[in-house]
Amino acid sequence: MKITLALLLLSSGIAQAQLFSGESLLNNENFDRQRWSWGYFLGFNSYDFKFKYGEEPPSPTTGKDRIVETNIGFNVGLIGNLRLNNNLDLRLEPGVAFNTRDFQVDSANSDTRREVNATYVHIPLLLKFSTNRLNNFKPFIVGGLSTSINLSSNEDNPDDNEAGQFRMTTNSYYYEIGFGIDFYLYYFKFTPSIRGVFAINDELIRDENPNSIYTQNIDKMSSRGIFLNFTFQ
């Protein structure tokens, strides 16, 4: 989070400097006149789980809140951008996201900890709403829908938490919303952005034992994440 805040403050500082400097030389002046544009992105992610529980907790000792420890992951992918008009673009951003979460039922018992590794093939279709260009930058908001394939889901694994295997669905669906700033540099356009990603479907594969402390009484488990991406076009 400190890295995210520092980068956002740096981007804001650059934008303010260009806005108030009276700069008149426009970099890549014809960039936004292209019907199609292409690029790639690199970035970081942090995934969490959101739980919806049944009426009763799983047991008096564990309570009903599971413990999730988040870690910083890595994103990489490509961008295809279709210009609809001066302020609206349609974007396809297929990429791969790597992340690890630690799931634990009882904080006093390390045996209940499960490391949840995820390698997502993530495919968002987004609408990007931009302001008019101001010197060499353009703020925007972005939102849309996405799907992903979790290559590390363990969905078809016959073993469950009794054998130390935490299982999730392979396919997930999300809605996304975020914001960023386009910076028009001399040779390319550079864009830092931050986005929230929220799963719609239930991703939990239940254990065979209906009284399992890992999956009992969870009506729905959905991923939610934050993406910090740096785009080059």
3 state DSSP class of 163: helix
Q: Would strands 137-150 and 113-130 be described as parallel, antiparallel, or unpaired?
A: antiparallel
Could you say which residues of the chain have pLDDT below 50?
1-9, 11-12, 15, 17-19, 21, 58-62
> Three-class SS string for 49-108?
EEEEECCCCCCCCCCCCCEEECCEEEEEEEEEEEEEECCEEEEECCEEEEEEEEEECCCC
pLDDT of residue 60: 46
pLDDT of residue 24: 62
Q: Is residue 5 in a domain? A: no
Residue 220 bridge partners (DSSP): 52
Q: Which two tokens stand for residue 169?
A: 């669905």
3 state DSSP class of 127: strand
Q: Is residue 183 in a domain? A: yes
pLDDT of residue 207: 94
Q: Is residue 19 in a domain? A: no
3 state DSSP class of 122: strand
Count how many Cα atoms sit within 13 Å of the Cα of residue 125 in the half-sphere of its side chain.
3
Q: Is residue 27 in a domain? A: no
Sign of the CA dihedral with 207 first, then 211, 213, and 215 last: positive
Q: Is residue 54 in a domain? A: yes
- b/e per residue, 111-128, with b = 16+ CB within 10 A? ebbbebebbbebebebeb
3 state DSSP class of 3: helix
Q: Is residue 13 in a domain? A: no
Q: Which two tokens stand for residue 37?
A: 């544009």
Q: Is residue 160 in a domain? A: yes
Q: Is residue 2 in a domain? A: no
Helix (H) or strand (E) holding 162: none
pLDDT of residue 26: 87
Of the candidates 197, 116, 207, the one whose C-alpha atom is nearest the C-alpha of residue 159 is 207
| Structural domain harbouring 83 | 36-232
The tally of domains found in the chain comes to 1
Q: pTM for this structure? A: 0.83
Domain containing 87 — which CATH number? 2.40.160.20
